[in-house]
Amino acid sequence: MILKHFQLLLLIFLCPLLGKAKLEKATVGAGCFWCVEAIYEQLPGVTDVVSGYAGGPEKNPKYRQVAAGLTGHAEVVQITFDSEKTSFRELIDYFWKTHDVTDGTGVWPDFGPQYRSIILAHNEAQLHTAIASRDAAQSQFDKPIATQITLLEKFYVAEDYHQDFVRFNPNHPYVRNIAYTKLDKLGLKRP
C-alpha cells in the first residue's frame, strides 16, 4: 500500500514536469469493491484505484459498520486516471457494462445499500456527464437504470487489507467464485 501511494505521488509530481499526464479522479460503486477495483485497474489510462467508502453521513466509517449497513455509505473505488488517455465519460460508459445497473437493491451476490450501484461525481461537469451517459445507456436495458448519481461529499479509504484484494488473495473463495467470474465475463484478465 505504501509503495502504491509512493508511485502515485511520484507520478503526480513528475508527470506535470514532463507534460504527459493530466490526472483526474472518478468515484464509483458497483457491489463489492474488491471486484470493482480489479476491473478498473485494467482500463487504459487508469493509474490507480483505491477501495473505500462514500455516499453516507457517518464520519470515518470502518468496514464492519459499512458491511452491516449501519453508515449509509457504499463500498466504492476512487479511480485516478490520465484524462489525456481516457475520459471520465469513457469510464462511466464502461461502468454500465460491469454489473446489473437496474437492480436498486445491490449488486449480485451482495445486496443492501452498502453494495448499491452509485456514481459520485467530483464536480458539476462530472455530474452532468454521468447523467448524460446514463441516459444514453438506458436504451440497452429493459428496466430503468437504478444507479444513484450524486456529488461526492467525502471519500474514506478502506482498511489496507482491502486494497488490491483480488491480486493478493487469488485463492480466497469470493475471488475465485465471484471476482474471477466478473472479470472473465468482461473479457479482462485475472491478476
Mind telling me the catalytic residues? 32
Take residue 100 and report the three cell numbers written for it: 446489473
Distance CA 73, CA 139 (A): 29
Select from 142, 55, 129, 34 the least CA-distant residue to 91: 129
Which residue bears the cell 458491511? 67
Buried b (16+ CB within 10 A) or exposed e, 15-44: beeeeebebbbbbbbbbbbbbbbbbbbebe
Radius of gyration over every alpha carbon of the chain, rounded to an integer in angstroms: 16
